[in-house]
Chains A and B, each alone.
Chain A
Amino acid sequence: MRGFWGKALAIAWKDILAEARTKDMVLSMLVFSILVIIVFNFAFESSAEQTAQVAPGVLWVTFTFAGVLGMNRSFVQEKDRGCLEGLMLCPLDRGVIYTGKMLGNFIFMLLVEVIVLPVFSILFNLPLFAPRLVLITVLATLAFSTAGTLFAAIAVNTRARDFMLPILFIPVVVPVIIAAVQASGLALAPGPGEGYWSWLQLIVVFVVIFLAVSFLVFEYVLEE
């Protein structure tokens, strides 16, 4: 078990190391996120209270698409010099490769969110530092990474690696998007936020299911 986590962390770590050198992925996700927010601002040009209503939606649309961008990139990098094959040649359980890539994707998305959330809160005049919003953001991001890593590994091996990921990923993560938007709305609204914990549970169930299934099927995604 120690070997498992040691190696999974090493896979995530080499992604972080490479990213620290180029900053490609995080920068493009960041710029993209800010562009989306600005475009939404034009689309909804609205009063303060309306803003509060659409804000959770805007936030999660942004994170969903930024996530797609980043996760796709993370596997394109693996594929370019045959590194994915290099990993497959190692005496590793396929679950280790999945976990390592998933952790890397999770960390990159969190990093982007840590920067985007304050920018968002300034641009829309919203108090976004509610602990419950942070909790739902972390969990929903984990859910995105579990499903996204599986589908990114598929997408990068197809002839349409640039647009296959959103087509595969978005319908499947609909439950997470709904739960995240609803729970964020409840976290931002004044009052006890009835129902918040049910949405949280839904996301946890999604994470558990996708971890289990991805572990079982990742082998079939990688083999040739």
Chain B
Amino acid sequence: MTSGNPWAIEAQGLTKLFGPRPALLGVDLRVPRGAFLSVFGPNGAGKSTLIRSLATIMRPTAGKVMLEGLDAARHGGEVRRLLGVVTHQTLLYPDLTAQENLEFYARMYDVPRRRERIAYLADLVGLEGRLDQVVGTLSRGLQQRVALARALLHDPPILLLDEPETGLDPQAQGMLGDLLRRVDGQERTVVMATHSLERGLELGDRLAILVRGRLAYESTKEALNLEALRSTYRHLAAAGE
């Protein structure tokens, strides 16, 4: 990995147009290594587009994404090894067991000693005894745990989360928060898109607000005036809809 560069994620002038509609418009974003950035925004603000562009599965119309100093457009393969992604979809095959799903993806990521790694992660996310169950029959909360294990298989230095709590009950949400915090313990850079101000503030140490595809606000948690932020957010969210 590049040593001199303090930024895990850099986006420059990131723009994505869907027809005439810009989902992202000239977003410049820098996330230092080890930070946890929460990205807020109302529905349709471009959060998912941002995460998908950073995750290299969406090709931006203009601008570029650098991950650990590597240009994502040119070093797709290497960049993808750096990324773990959890979205509101599980990315799991519902007809395979958790174990089979994880083994499949571990193979795709060339994970060495797959079984041990999977056993370790299953323990970490609290899946003991559920690995041999078909994913489609697991509860939403358990599925999301498998999805998190999937994202961590190759021990990626960067985690991208797109509304990871969608469809989870409050208990499972708390669980996910704990997991992310623990995962956060090991020098991992996290970007989480969420529409919940509370959860984002609780977990993140930096935050950014997206409104209509533009970065409207960015700050670290310490420098933050919470009341000002709340009112700004409500104001912007109302304007965005």
Contact = CB atoms under 8 A, between A and B. Distances in A.
Interface of A: 3, 6-7, 10, 14, 17-18, 21-22, 77, 80-83, 85-93, 223-224
B7 to A, nearest CB: 21
Interface of B: 52, 55-59, 76-78, 80-81, 83, 85, 87, 89-96, 100, 104-105, 107-110, 134, 150
A85 B95 contact: no
Given A17-B100, A82-B87, A89-B80, A10 B92 contact: no
Contacts of A89: 55-57, 80, 83, 85, 91
A89 B105 CA distance: 10
- Top 8 A-B pairs, shortest CB-CB distance: A82-B89, A86-B91, A18-B95, A90-B108, A91-B80, A224-B58, A91-B77, A88-B57
A68 B57 CA distance: 27
B54 to A, nearest CB: 11
Contact of A81 (B77, B92, B104, B107): B92
A91 B91 contact: no
Nearest to B59: A223
Most buried by B among A14, A22, A87: A14
B91 A82 contact: yes
Chain A interface secondary structure, helix, strand, loop or mixed? helix
Given A21-B134, A22-B95, A91-B81, A6 B57 contact: no
Given A17-B100, A83-B91, A85-B91, 13 more contacts: A6-B107, A7-B107, A18-B96, A22-B95, A81-B91, A81-B93, A82-B91, A83-B92, A86-B150, A89-B83, A89-B91, A91-B109, A92-B108
Contacts of A80: 94
Contacts of B80: 89-92
B80, B91, B93, B108 — which one has the most chain A CB atoms within 10 A of its CB?
A: B108
Contacts of A10: 104, 107-108
Nearest to B104: A14
A189 to B, nearest CB: 44
Contact of A21 (B76, B87, B91, B95): B95
B55 A223 contact: no
Contacts of B105: 86, 90
Nearest to A10: B107
B93 A14 contact: yes
Contacts of A92: 77, 80, 108
23 contacts: A6-B107, A10-B107, A14-B96, A14-B100, A18-B95, A81-B92, A81-B93, A83-B93, A85-B89, A86-B92, A86-B150, A89-B55, A89-B56, A89-B57, A89-B83, A91-B76, A91-B77, A91-B78, A91-B108, A92-B77, A92-B80, A92-B108, A224-B57
A93 B91 contact: no
A188 to B, nearest CB: 39
A17 B103 CA distance: 13
Contacts of A88: 56-57
